[in-house]
Amino acid sequence: MTQYPSRSIGLFLFSTLAACAPTEQATDEYNEELGDESDELTGDPEEEVNEDGTGPADVRSANSRSRTGADTSRPLIQGIDFGDTNGWVDHRSITIVVDAKDNVGVAEVCLSNTRACRDWVPFDSEGNDHRLPQGVGPHTVRVWARDAAGNISGMFRDTVSIDAKRPRDGTVTASPVPGGVTLNWADFTDPESGIVGYRIVGRQNGAAPYCTVERSIYWEGNAGTATITGMVAGDHAMRICAIDAQGHMSTGTIVTSGPRAESNAPVVRALQLDAGDNWVPSRTVDVQVDVVDESAIMRMCYSEDTTCRAWTDFEPNTTFTLSPGSGVKTVRGWYEDAFGNINVAATDQIGLDLTAPTDGELTLSHLPSAVRVAWPGAADADSGIVEYVVVMADDIAPDSCSEGDEVYRGTAVETVVSGLTSDFRYGFRVCAIDDAGWMSAGIAGQITPLAEYDAPTVTRFVIDEDRVETYDLFVPVQLQAADATGIARMCLSNTSTCDTWQTYQTLFNHRLASGAAGERTLYLWLEDTLGNQSAVPFTDTIDYLTE
C-alpha cells in the first residue's frame, strides 16, 4: 500500500498549538520538582489526613513551595524496626525505631494503627513508644515523618504480629528401649510465632512435674522424637511441652512409660497397600505387612490418623477401608508385641480416584481418503490420564469405547485414520482412561472424507479499488477467489476474529471500524461447498482520513 505524506495544514496546526502551551509545560516541571502528588501524604496533626493525601490546604502549600527558596524536600522513611523476633512480639506496647532521613533533619514522627495520622511526637532516633491494637496476629503500623521546615514524608507501612498465647499441645507415644524410652510426638502447634523447641521433664513413681521445674528436665531440643536412656526400671511420668519463638511454653502432654524386660518394638520390613498400585477406584484395599519381633506380635492397628483408634488381633494380610473422597491417602500401621512394645507407625500411601476423566473437544479434519482425529482438553484431577482409546464405526459413532473398531490406543492427543472411502460417513468416539482404570464416557462425532480438502484461494482482495486512503467509512470491496468445488461462504471482519458468515459475493459495500483517523485492516475468510475454510484470514488495509 502506498504511503502519502502528511498534510501541510496538519503540521501547521500542530506546531501552532504546541507553541501556545508553555503553561502546561511549566506546571509539569513544577510538579516533578515537588514529587508525585499521588504519594500518601499527611496533613496538619490537628486534623485527619488520609493515605491518598487529602487534607488541609496549608499543608499542601507547605509541600509545594518550589519558588520561595525554602527547603521543600520531604523526609524519606527507609524502614522501621519493631524490635521483633521473626516478625512477632509478645506485647502490645513496643518501641519502634524509624529509619528516616532529611536535608534539615527529622523533627517529628507520627505512628498510627489506622490510615490517618492523629498524633505527632518528637522524633527519637533510638525509638519511639507505640501501642498496638488488641488481639493476636498481624497489625499494620503506618508512619509519617516531618522535618523542621514542615515538610511531610509519604506514608510508610509495615506489619508486625502479636503472640501472647501458649503453644497448643499434641499427642505423644512412648516405646520402651533397653534402659530407657523413645518418645515420639506430633500435632503440637503454634499458629502465631511458631514452635522453636520442646522440653521433656519426668519423675519416677509420682505425678509428672511441670516443665518449669528445671531439675526434672530429661531432654531439650527441636526434634519430634527423643530417646531417654539411663532410666531406672519402672514407670516414669513424663511431660512434653512445646516452646514458641516468644518463649511461651505449653501446658504439656503427659505420658507414662519405662524400660521393660523386652523393650524392642516390632520391626516393619514392608507395608504395602493393594499390591503396590499407585491408584485404586475403590475404598476397600488389601493390606500386606512383613513385620518381625523378638517376641510374638499380638495386635495390630491401621488408621489414616496419626494415632491408633482401634486394635485388632494380628493378621499379616487383611483389608482396610479408606476414608471417603478422592485423593492421596496415607495409611499407618502399628503392631504390638507380647510385652506391649509398639513400633513407630509404618506408612504407605495410595491414591483413591472415584471419578472418571472429563472429556475434551473432538476435532475431525478431512484428509485424502483419511481423517485426522484430535481430542485436546481431556482432564483428570486425581490419578491423571494415562491413555486414550479411539474407536470407529460406519455412519455413526459407537455408543462406548468398548464397541466398534479400535483404531488407536496411546498417550497422544491426535491420530490419523487412513484407508477410508471418500464420500462415506464414519463415526468416531474418543475416551480417556485414568491411572485408577476409570474410562470417560467419551466424545463422539461423524465425518465424511472429502474428495478435496483444500481451502479457497484469493486472487484479488482490494478495498475501494485499491486506493490507499479514504474519507468515507463506507467502502466498496472487490473479491476474486478460486476453489476446486466452488466457494459457498465468506466472512469479512474489522477484527482478526470472524463474527458472521454470509453468502460469497465478489463486489459489495462494507463499513470500516469507526473512530479516529488511522489505518484500517479488513480480514477475510472463505469456505467452499465442502466446508473447507481458510486457515488464516486474507487481509487488506486502507488509511481512513477525517480531514
Separation between Cα atoms, residue 358 and residue 133, nearest integer Å:
50
DSSP string, 142-157: EEEEEETT--BPPPEE
Do 146 and 41 lie in a common domain? yes
Separation between Cα atoms, residue 80 and residue 156, nearest integer Å:
8
Number of domains in the chain: 5
Banded model confidence at residue 53, pLDDT cuts 50, 70, 90:
very low
Do 144 and 46 lie in a common domain? yes
For the ranges 118-122, 143-147, 169-173, 179-183, the lowest mean pLDDT is seen at: 179-183
110, pLDDT greater than 90: yes
User: Which pLDDT value is given to residue 340?
Assistant: 83
Separation between Cα atoms, residue 382 and residue 516, nearest integer Å:
52
| DSSP structural state of residue 39 | S
Phi first, then psi: give them for residue 18, nearest 5 degrees. -65, -35
Separation between Cα atoms, residue 390 and residue 417, nearest integer Å:
10
Which residue, 447, 470, 487, sits at the end of a domain? 447
Closest CA to 341 of 296, 288, 303: 296
Q: Considering all CA atoms of the chain, what is the largest pairwise distance in Å, rounded to the nearest integer?
A: 109
Query: Each residue of 414-463: pLDDT tens digit?
Result: 999 999 988 889 999 999 999 999 999 999 999 988 777 789 999 999 99
Q: Is residue 24 part of a domain?
A: no
User: Which pLDDT value is given to residue 57?
Assistant: 33
Do 98 and 64 lie in a common domain? yes
Q: Is residue 413 part of a domain?
A: yes
270, pLDDT greater than 80: yes
Other residues' Cβ atoms within 10 Å of the Cβ of residue 222: 10
pTM exceeding the 0.75 threshold for the entire prediction: no
16, pLDDT greater than 60: no
**CA geometry: angle at 160 spanning 121 and 133, to 5°?**
65
43, pLDDT greater than 50: no
- Do 100 and 128 contact (CB within 8 A), yes or no? no
Do 401 and 473 lie in a common domain? no
Query: Each residue of 70-101: pLDDT tens digit?
Result: 888 999 999 999 987 778 888 889 899 999 99
Q: Is residue 22 part of a domain?
A: no
User: Which pLDDT value is given to residue 448?
Assistant: 87
210, pLDDT greater than 80: yes
If you average pLDDT over residues 219-241, what whole number do you get?
Answer: 91
Do 80 and 114 lie in a common domain? yes
Residue 472: strand pairing partners: none
Q: What is the average pLDDT score of the chain?
A: 85
Do 52 and 153 lie in a common domain? yes
1, pLDDT greater than 50: no
Identity of the amino acid at 365: S
User: Which pLDDT value is given to residue 64?
Assistant: 39
User: Which pLDDT value is given to residue 88?
Assistant: 85
Separation between Cα atoms, residue 105 and residue 23, nearest integer Å:
34
Query: Each residue of 154-176: pLDDT tens digit?
Result: 999 999 988 888 999 999 999 88
Which residue, 131, 162, 193, sits at the end of a domain? 162
Q: Is residue 49 part of a domain?
A: yes
**Sheet strands side by side (includes 284-292):** 267-273, 284-292, 317-321
388, pLDDT greater than 50: yes
If you average pLDDT over residues 129-140, what whole number do you get?
Answer: 89
Which residue, 379, 414, 447, sits at the end of a domain? 447
Do 51 and 107 lie in a common domain? yes
Q: Is residue 125 part of a domain?
A: yes
Separation between Cα atoms, residue 149 and residue 310, nearest integer Å:
76
Do 372 and 432 lie in a common domain? yes
Q: Is residue 14 part of a domain?
A: no
Closest CA to 430 of 395, 396, 449, 406: 406
- Do 201 and 217 contact (CB within 8 A), yes or no? yes
Do 49 and 103 lie in a common domain? yes
User: Which pLDDT value is given to residue 69?
Assistant: 61
> Residue 490: which domain range?
457-544
Q: Is residue 17 part of a domain?
A: no
Q: Output the domain CATH number for residue 224.
A: 2.60.40.10
Burial of 92 (0-12, 13-18, 19+ CB in 10 A): middle
Query: Each residue of 295-349: pLDDT tens digit?
Result: 889 999 999 999 998 999 999 999 999 999 999 999 999 999 987 889 999 999 9
Question: What is the chain's alpha carbon radius of gyration, rounded to the nearest angstrom?
Answer: 40
